[in-house]
Chain A
Amino acid sequence: MTDANTERFALRLKGISKTFGGLQALDDVDFEVRAGEVHCLAGENGSGKSTLIKIITGVYQPQKAELFELFGEAVRSISPTGARNRGVSVIWQDLALFSHMSVRENICFDDMVGLTPKGVHYGEMDRKARAVLERLGVPLELDIPLEALSIARRQIVAIARALMNDARLIFMDEPTASLSRSETDHLLDIVRKLSADGVAVVFVSHRLAEVLEIASRVTVLRDGRLVGVYDCADMTQVRLGELMTGQLIENKVVARDRVDAPKVMEVRGLSRAGEFENVSFDLHAGEVLGLIGLIGAGRTELAHVLMGMRAPTAGDMRVEGRPFRPSSIRDAIRQGLAYVSEDRLSLGLLQKQPIEDNTVISVLHKLLTRLPLLSMRKRDALVRSWVDKLGVKIGRPSDLISTLSGGNQQKIVLAKWLATEPKLLILDSPTVGVDIGARAGIFRIVRSLADSGLAILLISDEATEVMFNSDRILHMAEGQIVAEYDPRKMTVPELEERVYA
């Protein structure tokens, strides 16, 4: 291998292995990133992606490494600061920024790290931060606290911070998980700009569509092993999903006519000033009604009104023919509604509580003995029945919910709500941060729930998700229902065109 050849690589790894306890997290994995390339690292949770990133950035040391080269130089061992000095930056999914500190300090923070006392020059910081934001083409106010920015903007701050360290290889961990479509497009533009500047970007994402859109090559890991490296040009979403999970995940339109079934919910002219207006629809027993729209279209606000969390300013709702005007979320639950919220991690689950308590939190009143004290026996039986019914993979019911994978956590959220025996289930972006394999599992459950007569309102901004899991599709934009589609008379590109255009 000549020097001229090795220089073209930002990163070369061969034969990387790492075990934790008895668990083989990485087994003889090779990974190469070319300079200036947009590369995707794909794999389900637990496939070894994060372990690999942590080895490259010095958080973990590999047990075995046949070759470890950064920008053509052999690496013996590397620390997090060492990795940063060599031009490697990671933008973690949680961004690792400081919400009460100013934008300028977040961008320039790494300059301040260290125990040698140094003065802080805010003017110089401003100058540097402005220069790097200019390079990205995004002007941001520098002296406002980070928490005043949207998630998308914070992402830009994180990228700017990486560039401040002269990063030539940037890892982005699920950067688009909480971005809307237009924000994602903007981010992808910035990634392209970086790549044109010679900065290599490694993209880790569950969203296969955008992976294929942005990356030139994709490395697929499964169960700690390398499946292969592929050109994105001749890759399809279905094929990539198959490589990641080892099973063929078919996307099929499953829509059926349920409009003759009894109406579970009727909504007429429902409005809430400033959020949405004149929303009308019927939802029938056993029907999955997809509600697609961009973030900010009023989808979640509508769900909040249906659940009694906020009052509508106009319009009528009926549940099973009776007028429905919930005064609180408890009232809505009592009348047969259930709501799986969009922010599972913070709103849907009590992360520091065990699985069993998370499962029964919505139905504690059903678990009382005559005394009224909680019956542990009743609780255990209920938890066991839901874990079995939904096929949740858990260790013990007393383990913390945070020990479960995203997909299994989402199933526990479902169990919690199904335990209230609802007639209508609202699912708000149910698969954010969930593996494609686990997604299929969740939608199998959704389908069987619908078959058993439950009415389901499926809110999402992903066209494929709505397309292949709904019986009818409502399209919401700028607070209004603008169209109704039949998935059987539509294709995904057509739907994407209408929703995202």
Chain B
Amino acid sequence: MHNLLNNRKTEIRLGIVLLAMIVGLSLGSDSFFTLNNLTSLLNNNAINLIWAVGLLVVLIAGGIDISFAVASSVVQYLAVQVLRQIGGGDWVTGIVVCGVIGIALGLVNMFFIYRFRIVSIVVTIATYNAYFGLLMFFSKGRNIYNLPDWLTDRVVMFEYEAADGTWSELTLAVGAMVVCVVATWLLIQRTNLGRQLYAFGDNPEGARRAGVNVAAMQALAFGWMGLMAGIAGLMQANIVKEVVPNALIGREMDVLAAIVLGGARLGGGKGTVLGCVLGVMFVAVTQNGLNLLGVSPFAFKMIIGGAILVAISTSNIDFADLFRRRQEAAK
């Protein structure tokens, strides 16, 4: 038990802070701890969480990806073209098409990183620009409104109407998010492939010498990220019922920061699904809380940035150790 606590320090600390925030906001605001607010918190962050677990896999394998949010937009645009060609399709074809395009975009990153031995941050900054540039060029920046009917239909996983008439529901995106989170957990925690990803991110040379297939690991990490980007793209189109080329760009940094907050290491070999979810929810609850407390939306970015800085800079402080030192000094 002692070890479990030690190994999961970041997650436990973040969990406690998150819990404290939730308790505080529940007491400080009438509207925080309501079914309506909690469900919309999940609805609004499902996309971020899907991306986050994909990016987590890349970080564990020692890489980084900046291009995934833009990739989701590219997936949306291309998938709609493909679906129109095949006569509209349905959810199954939609998921397959988006998944395949997403994986292909991820493998483009992997190809340059692996084949030309370029650091992943450089490659994905390049593809981030290239993907977005191509998307804007071909779409001419125009939104697509006439999506297949099934895609714009509201799919509700859960709904509830309170006595006062407030409507609470969980969208399909939340369902997809849960599937992605569980699948990612299974992959990285419970399969030999996932453990090889950790090993490869931890010590690439050691993994290579042990016979780990380096190309396959890179392909798995970036392919998984691509698959998640594909699913996220599809779900986001379902939520907003249109494809807006520049709707998602800019959200990649928040996701990255949230994952690092959750204990993933920029350099590989470390990170958990639990920490990743807590990191995203920490940012989400902070923003939600500020909203409910009536803080100006213009201050959000500043406050969230500050909160992340405080959280990350205190995450290496061993509070037990500090306390001990203070005791010694007092003697």
Contact = CB atoms under 8 A, between A and B. Distances in A.
A101 B269 contact: yes
B209 interface: yes
Interface stretch (B67-75, B174-182, B192-200): B192-200
Contacts of A95: 206
Given A114-B192, A143-B3, A145-B7, A96 B202 contact: no
A60 interface: no
From B4, B6, B202, B216, name the one whose CB has the most chain A CB atoms within 10 angstroms.
B202
From A59, A95, A113, A117, name the one whose CB has the most chain B CB atoms within 10 angstroms.
A113
A113 to B, nearest CB: 5
Given A115-B216, A141-B3, A99 B202 contact: yes
From A94, A96, A100, name the one whose CB has the most chain B CB atoms within 10 angstroms.
A100
A414 B264 CA distance: 39
Interface in A95-110: 95-102, 105, 109-110
B193 A100 contact: no
B192 A118 contact: yes
Contact of B211 (A81, A98, A117): A81
Contact of A112 (B3, B196, B213): B196
Given A101-B198, A120-B190, A96 B210 contact: yes
Nearest to A274: B328
B209 A97 contact: no
Contacts of B166: none
Given A80-B209, A81-B211, A144-B3, A98 B202 contact: yes
Interface string B1-14: 00110110000000
Contacts of B209: 59, 80, 92, 96
A398 to B, nearest CB: 22
B4 A143 contact: yes
B191 A98 contact: no
A120 B203 contact: no
Interface string B203-215: 1011101111100
B269 A99 contact: yes
Given A92-B209, A100-B270, A143-B4, A118 B191 contact: yes
A119 interface: yes
Nearest to A118: B192
B203 A98 contact: yes
Contacts of B207: 98
A115 B215 CA distance: 11
Given A115-B193, A117-B192, A144-B3, A96 B205 contact: yes
Given A99-B269, A100-B265, A113 B202 contact: no
Contacts of A96: 203, 205-206, 209-210
Contact of A113 (B4, B7, B192): B192
A472 interface: no
B250 to A, nearest CB: 31
Interface in B256-274: 265, 269-270
A84 interface: yes
Given A100-B269, A120-B195, A113 B206 contact: no
Interface residues of A, number: 31
Contact of A117 (B4, B191, B269): B191
Given A100-B270, A110-B210, A120 B202 contact: no
A266 to B, nearest CB: 30
B203 A97 contact: yes
Chain B interface, >50% SS class:
helix
Nearest to A161: B210
B211 A84 contact: yes
B206 A97 contact: yes
Given A80-B211, A144-B6, A112 B192 contact: yes
Nearest to A108: B195
Interface string A126-149: 000000000000000101110000
Place the interface of chain B in its size category.
Answer: 20 to 34
From B3, B199, B269, name the one whose CB has the most chain A CB atoms within 10 angstroms.
B199
A113 B3 contact: no
Contact of B195 (A92, A99, A112, A116): A112
Contact of A144 (B7, B190, B202): B7
A98 B269 contact: yes
Interface string B287-323: 0000000000000000000000000000000000000
B202 A101 contact: yes
A87 to B, nearest CB: 15
Interface in B36-94: none
Given A113-B211, A115-B213, A98 B196 contact: no
B7 A119 contact: no
Interface string A47-90: 00000000000010000000000000000000011001000000
Nearest to B328: A273
Contacts of B198: 98, 100-101
Nearest to A116: B192
Contacts of A101: 195, 198-199, 202, 269
Interface in B203-254: 203, 205-207, 209-213, 216
Contacts of A144: 3, 6-7
Nearest to A121: B190
Given A120-B190, A120-B192, A113 B210 contact: yes
B330 to A, nearest CB: 14
Contacts of A59: 209
Contacts of B202: 98-101
Nearest to B200: A98
11 contacts: A80-B209, A96-B206, A96-B210, A100-B202, A101-B199, A105-B195, A112-B196, A113-B192, A117-B191, A118-B191, A118-B192
Given A100-B198, A116-B192, A141-B3, 15 more contacts: A80-B211, A96-B205, A100-B202, A101-B269, A102-B7, A109-B210, A110-B211, A111-B192, A112-B192, A112-B199, A113-B196, A115-B216, A117-B192, A118-B191, A120-B191
The 4 nearest A-B residue pairs measured at CB: A96-B206, A112-B192, A98-B202, A100-B269
